[in-house]
Structure 1
Amino acid sequence: MFSTSLVYAHSLWINNFESHAHQSHHAMVSLGWGHALPMDDILTSPNGRIDVETFDLFDPSLQKIALKKPPFMVSTPEQSTATIDVYNADLATQKIALKKESEKGVYQLSATSKPTFYVQFIDKKGNTRLKMKPMDQVRDIATVLMAVKYQAFAKSYLTVGEWQQPKPLGHGLEIIPHTDLSNLHVGDLVEVEVLFYGKPLSSSAKSMEQITAVSSSFGQSDGFYLGSAIKKGKAQFRVQSSGQWIINVAHKDDVTPDGPLKNLVGKAQQVYHGASLTFAVK
Structure 2
Amino acid sequence: MKKTFIILCSLTVLLSTSIVYAHDLWLNVSNYFPKPGEVVTIELGWGHRFPTDEVIKEGWLESIYAISPKGEKISLKKLDPTHFSFRPQIAGIYLVAAQIKPGFLTKTTEGYKLQTKRGLKNVITCFRYDKRAKAIIQGGKKKEGISQKAGHPLELIPLKAPAQLKEGDTFPLKVIFRGEPLSKTYLFATYAGFSEEKNTFAYTTMTDEEGVGSIKILKKGKWMVKVEHKIPFPDKEECDEYLYGATLTFEVR
Label 1:198 to 1:168 Cα distance change in 2 as closer, same or farther (>3 A): same
What amino acid maps onto 1:184 in structure 2? L
Partner of 1:275: 246
SS of the counterpart of 1:18? coil
- Judged with a 3 Å threshold, the aligned counterparts in structure 2 of structure 1 residues 179 and 133 are, in CA distance, closer, same or farther, namely same
Q: CA deviation at 1:221?
A: 5.2
Tell me what 2:187 maps to. 211
The gaps in structure 2 that reach 5 residues or longer are 1-13
What is the alpha-carbon distance in structure 2 between the residues aligned to residue 220 and residue 186 of structure 1?
21
Structure 2 counterpart of 1:86: none
Gaps of 5+ in 1: 71-89, 123-127, 204-208, 256-261
Partner of 2:82: 92
**What is the DSSP-based 3-state SS (H/G/I as helix, E as strand, rest coil) of the residue aligned with 1:31?**
strand
Q: 1:216 to 1:27 in 2, by over 3 A?
A: same
Q: Closer, same or farther in 2 for the Cα pair 1:121/1:33, shift >3 Å?
A: same
Partner residue in 2 for 1:109: 96
Q: What is the aligned counterpart of 1:66 among 75, 79, 100? A: 75
Change (3 A) 1:23 1:270: closer
Measured against aligned partners, the alpha-carbon deviations of 1:106-159 in whole angstroms (never above 9, x if no partner) come to 11100012211011224xxxxx143211223xx2x3321121100111001222
2:124 to 123, 132, 145: 145
TM-score, with normalisation over the residues of structure 1? 0.74
Describe the shift of the 1:177–1:130 C-alpha distance in structure 2 as closer, same or farther (beyond 3 A): same
Q: Specify which of 123, 130, 134 is matched with residue 155 of structure 1.
A: 134
* Paired position in structure 2 for 1:133: 115
Match of 2:30, SS state, is: strand
Tell me the alpha carbon deviations over residues 151-207 of structure 1, each in whole angstroms, 9 at most, x when there is no partner: 11100122223113321121011001001113432112100000011110012xxxx
- Tell me if the contact between 1:116 and 1:150 (Cα under 8 Å) persists in the aligned partners: yes
* Aligned positions, number: 235
Q: Secondary structure at the match of 2:168?
A: coil
**TM-score normalised by structure 2 residue count:** 0.82
Distance 1:214 1:10 in 2: 16
When the two chains are superposed, the root-mean-square deviation of aligned CA atoms in Å is: 2.7
Larger Rg: 1
Alignment correspondent of 2:5: none
